[in-house]
Amino acid sequence: MNPEEIASRLETLWGGQTLASLRDEATREFNGTCFSALRRRDGPRDVLIVCVTGAHELGKLEGLDPAQAYPFGDWSKVSLFEAWLRTRLAGGFCYDAERKSGQALSAVVLIAAVPRSITRLEALLNLGP
């Protein structure tokens, strides 16, 4: 899919969903993780956005490269579409983290917008292709 097709499908798929609403959904999941993806019929994912709030899964993310951190700001004001677009323009992979007092991670959102980063994120979190 070309970027214009992806953008059109994402607007329809996600509407006004924000990073904060994805985080809230993750906190309700048993393992503290949820994701949203766009994929071709019977094909690979074209976009993958994951939010992690569970302690076990957050532990897997301790080694993230700080150079790839992208401060999205107030998660309640950033739509998933906007996060995807910013990620696409920044090279195809970004993440942002929220921290509790004492600097412990409380939530991480990871966005993969190009095939290489999607494959790496799927492997990191043991998501099937």
Tens digit of pLDDT for each residue in 36-85?
A: 888 878 888 888 999 999 988 888 887 787 777 888 999 999 988 889 88
For 35-104, give the DSSP string.
EEEEE-TTS-EEEEEEEE-SHHHHHTTTT--GGGB-----GGG-BHHHHHHHHHHTTSEEEEEEE-TTS-
pTM: 0.86
